[in-house]
Structure 1
Amino acid sequence: MSDLAASRRHPVPAGELTYEPGERRVRGVIGETTVVDSTHPVLVWEPGRPVPLYAFPAGDVRTDLLTPGAAGRDRPGVRTWYDLTLDGRRFPALAWDYDVSGEVPELAGHLALDWFGRTSPGVEHWYEEEEEIFVHPRDPYKRVDALPGSRWVRVSIGGVLVAETRRPVLLFETRLPIRYYIPPEDVHFDRLTPVPLQTSCPYKGTARYWSTPDAPNAAWAYPAPIPAAGPIKDHVAFYNEIVDIEVDGELLERPVTPFTSRLAAG
């Protein structure tokens, strides 16, 4: 790993595949079988993809379960795709190695496993050390800080006040606007309708949602956040992109974020 240790190349340049060694033990499990267990993972950032992935030394992967297969999702620099077969189940294009003849010679002998955005069955549980992680690997260049505050926060939807507090938890997340998490006692739940939507975040946990006629899925809360986001437990946040938020009497501009187009579509 000495070559990799010398190749830290961040912050990530746009349009370039970059990588660096990780320092956490990472495991992937299907059923009762551990298909990868590594203390030398490599974080890889591919061009045009918003989150990193993990590649592993081939010796840390159950290569006895892999056979060359047909191409999987479009991604740069793949040399060979591999299917994984376990207990009679076949997982197409679950792993790949990189063509190391170009810019990534240090990734020779490494295998990556498909995860973020995969729609077909794959690795069922991922762990960093002994904590289960969800959605995608955590990016070491992304911070999520939940800080108790005393700002006066008012949230309105379609001119109707739905929350007001002087004891918010402010969540600062890299490249996203501040999210104002409001204690449940300060939220007008009679003006919100619970919906079945749930989403998961590797930095916060699994969220439940509420809607209004004017703003579908506009509010959410984490009933059981991961320990690092503990202060937001059961607090309710609202998408700044589609609701009106006043902080200390000042109406915030609605930001444009990666969520904007999806929220506008309802």
Structure 2
Amino acid sequence: MTTHPAPPAHPAAGSIRTTPEGLMWEPGERWVRGRKGDVTVVDSRHPVLVWEPHLPVPQYVFPREDVRTDLLRPAASPPTGAHTGSRIFYDLDADGEVRRNAAWTFPADDLADHIAFEWFLRTDTGLDHWYEEDEEIFVHPRDPHKRVDALPSSRHVRVEIDGQVVADSHAPVLLFETSLPTRYYLPREDVRLDLFDATDHHTGCPYKGTASYWSWRGGDDVPPNLVWTYPEPLPAVAAIQGRVAFFNEVVDITLDGERLERPDTPFSRMLRRRSRS
């Protein structure tokens, strides 16, 4: 009888580990693939999620055997300080194009023999398309410890900018996202969109999809692109389709007669930079 070697053991998902370098990591169970053009560069059923101390979202690293390492070359000009403790970077040569510093390794012993790829910090490096199972994902991996729930409500939401009422609704959809303030998605007919100008700004979210934006016409002290909508949201949050939301950080929201405090979030700093530029 012919015997075959046992497949390599992989740690089970479900608990987060830490490394002396300050990284947190957890084995994943999703089938993850990454493509550059028509070339599949990563195909892994044993990805690992890693959280760096300075980043609020996770990223994937992959066992070397799941990566087309024949497409990687030692980086010609490796960056400094780009990722926690990392000193070994690779350029990716695939599909007729070289992308600089597309991949790297973390120094942690726990993550030895794993390779990470850039994808949500830069648009000119890394891979073009990522998939979890058969669904394409964008911007960064979805955090398994995060929930995003879109719930229709009959609560009364009023939004003001510089004392002017710009929205008033009794039919919001409340979007609850772990570690972020509640966002209030309002029917368009309840929003004074005539007071705003559509812009060419767009952002991507792995939980919601691609958003388009409006800016306030009323004054330079209000940051641009403070109002958004998801024309075609992902199925999990279909209830927000076409509705309009505001950054709580820079507008005044009254909920059921109670004025809410403006939250301080990473978006607050981003919006302050926008208003100064």
Structure 2 length-normalised TM: 0.88
Trace 1:137-216 onto structure 2 (pairs within 5 A): 137-212=141-216, 213-214=218-219, 215=222, 216=224
Trace 1:7-156 onto structure 2 (pairs within 5 A): 8-9=15-16, 16-69=22-75, 70-72=77-79, 74=81, 75-78=83-86, 80-99=88-107, 104-156=108-160
Could you tell me how far apart the structure 1 residues matched to 2:196 and 2:265 are? 24
| Matched-pair contact (CA < 8 Å) for 1:125–1:132 | yes
Amino acid at match of 1:34: T
CA RMSD of aligned residues (A): 2.1
Amino acid at match of 2:73: T
Could you tell me how far apart the structure 2 residues matched to 1:60 and 1:2 are? 14
**Which structure 1 residue ranges, 5 or more long, are not aligned?**
none
Q: How many correspondences in the alignment?
A: 261
Cα-to-partner distance string for 1:60-83 (whole Å, 9 max, x where unaligned): 111111121242352223252111
Amino acid at match of 1:140: P
Structure 1 length-normalised TM: 0.91
Amino acid at match of 1:71: P
Could you tell me how far apart the structure 2 residues matched to 1:26 and 1:228 are? 20
Once the two structures are TM-superposed, the CA of residue 116 in structure 1 deviates from its matched residue by: 2.2
Amino acid at match of 1:43: L
Change (3 A) 1:98 1:255: closer
Cα-to-partner distance string for 1:10-62 (whole Å, 9 max, x where unaligned): 6x899821111111111111111111111111001112122111011111111
Once the two structures are TM-superposed, the CA of residue 2 in structure 1 deviates from its matched residue by: 4.5
Amino acid at match of 2:148: V
Could you tell me how far apart the structure 2 residues matched to 1:22 and 1:157 are? 44
Could you tell me how far apart the structure 1 residues matched to 2:149 and 2:128 are? 28
| Matched-pair contact (CA < 8 Å) for 1:146–1:169 | yes
Change (3 A) 1:254 1:245: same
Change (3 A) 1:73 1:33: farther
Find the residue that maps to 2:110 and give its secondary structure.
helix
Cα-to-partner distance string for 1:132-178 (whole Å, 9 max, x where unaligned): 11111111111111111110111111222211111100011111111
| Matched-pair contact (CA < 8 Å) for 1:29–1:36 | yes
| Matched-pair contact (CA < 8 Å) for 1:218–1:239 | yes
**Which structure 2 residue ranges, 5 or more long, are not aligned?**
1-7
Once the two structures are TM-superposed, the CA of residue 262 in structure 1 deviates from its matched residue by: 2.1
Amino acid at match of 1:42: V
Change (3 A) 1:141 1:15: farther
**Deviating runs (4+, > 6 A) in structure 1?**
12-15
